[in-house]
Amino acid sequence: MDSYDTYDLSEDERELAALVRQFADEVVAPVSYEADRTHTLPMDVVAQMGELGLFGLPFPEEYGGQGGDYFALCLAIEALGRVDQSLAITLEAGVSLGAMPVFRFGTEEQKQDLLPDLLAGRALAAFGLTEPEAGSDAGATRTTARRDGDEWVINGSKQFITNSGTDITRFVTVTAVTGETDGRKEISTIVVPHGTPGFTVEPGYDKVGWRASDTHPLTFQDVRVPAANLLGTEGRGFANFLHILDEGRIAIAALATGAAEGCLDAAVDYARKRTVFGDALSTRQGIQFLLARMQQRVHVARLAWHHAARLRDAGKPFKTQAAMAKLTASDAAMDNARDATQIFGGNGFMNEYPVARHYRDSKILEIGEGTNEVQLLVIARALGVA
């Protein structure tokens, strides 16, 4: 319910936020229920997101990007998350986990080859990190890659990988153990193109939320790719991943803020229109206080991700601030979804209402890109007590 004038945004940033909000309301929202019901990512909408330049927002123009920054990307993610978390996570993962590792750690040849289609939204990429035994403890990675002449031979499996099985997914960057030093695994990241023999995208999951987003388990059986597909320095894959994850937490915080605001907007509108015992529901002080708490959460969550994103774009340390933003915003999304559902009563339990979808969708915000327990650990370490 806040006006963007409340926040320290440039004119360009306000225009971008307004543009994506309009797109979300007019293009995304009308198809959200059906996409959720059928577990189908609407690729025509993804294509329109590409045409708007959303996938290229934080990248230089020389690679086909918009020449913006991470803050601009998060503004777009928040605006989408307000009406449809599945489309918002498609953008977030497509940029933060798909294109950003190539931009950060790829060779110039890799950037020139892979980035233009990703930044235009003509292609998507995924990041294969999580495994059955390696989630929060990503150092427990069991997928392996061994050198055989001029090739890597990859064996293992990944799970919960977003954007890994769409018709336009071009490749997956996988983390794999490539050696060992002093008893510690050396983990590298390797680009595996779709269609490579031995690389199988398994059937998608039947998820509680984010049901329109594309998410699959992956298996690798003697998958051979050129040695040149190594992304970054051998053995630095885990360290590089941690840097990417810190950035991604800001984007997830923006998505969660959008979801929290979407719940607030819907609840305010419903409370004004719903009549109970002859009066609007919004005249009840208990409902007023509930809505006031929801507004408070949105405001604080937005300030948190704004601060973390500004630090990141200024080249200053932001790891702890990103963790606090992700923790604050994901809590806000879950709490606002619960309260909005309560205000809607029985209607809040019906999937055709956005608050019901936000209620299901928001739980994963407390898990993905590092659980909230991991965020607490990051914050505690910064305090010197962990």
Q: Are residues 118 and 166 in the same domain?
A: no
Token output for 308 = 């973390």
Token output for 312 = 């990141």
Please say whether the beta carbons of 159 and 125 come within 8 A.
no
Q: Which of 235, 268, 291 is the last residue of a domain?
A: 235
Which residues constitute the domain of residue 91? 4-124
Per-residue pLDDT tens over the stretch 307-325: 999 999 999 999 999 999 9
Question: What are the backbone angles phi and psi of residue 384, rounded to the nearest 5°?
Answer: 80, 25
Give the helix ranges, DSSP H, for 52-157: 70-81, 85-92, 100-105, 108-119
The per-residue pLDDT for 278 is 87
The model's pTM = 0.95
- pLDDT tier, 184 (very low <50, low <70, confident <90, very high otherwise): confident
Token output for 28 = 């995304």
CATH of the domain at 253: 1.20.140.10
The per-residue pLDDT for 237 is 85
Contact partners, residue 92, CB within 8 Å, separation at least 6: 77, 248, 251, 252, 255
Q: Are residues 101 and 231 in the same domain?
A: no
Number of domains forming the structure of the chain: 3
Q: Are residues 24 and 64 in the same domain?
A: yes
Give the helix ranges, DSSP H, for the chain: 11-23, 29-38, 43-51, 70-81, 85-92, 100-105, 108-119, 237-273, 285-313, 319-344, 354-361, 372-383
Give the closest residue to 88 by CA, choosing from 32, 150, 144, 136. Answer: 32
Q: Which of 95-109, 193-207, 237-251 has the lowest mean pLDDT?
A: 237-251
CATH of the domain at 152: 2.40.110.10
Gyration radius of the chain's alpha carbons? 21
Q: Are residues 195 and 96 in the same domain?
A: no
Is residue 246 scored above 80 in pLDDT? yes
369 is catalytic: yes
Is residue 1 scored above 70 in pLDDT? no
Q: Are residues 192 and 215 in the same domain?
A: yes
Per-residue pLDDT tens over the stretch 94-114: 999 999 999 999 999 999 999
Q: Are residues 223 and 278 in the same domain?
A: no
Give the closest residue to 98 by CA, choosing from 139, 134, 133, 46. Answer: 46
Q: Find the catalytic residue in 26, 51, 369, 373.
A: 369
The per-residue pLDDT for 243 is 84
237 vs 358, which has greater pLDDT?
A: 358
CATH of the domain at 18: 1.10.540.10
Cα–Cα distance between 64 and 324 in angstroms, integer?
32
Q: Which of 235, 263, 282 is the last residue of a domain?
A: 235
Please say whether the beta carbons of 358 and 211 come within 8 A.
no
- pLDDT tier, 137 (very low <50, low <70, confident <90, very high otherwise): confident
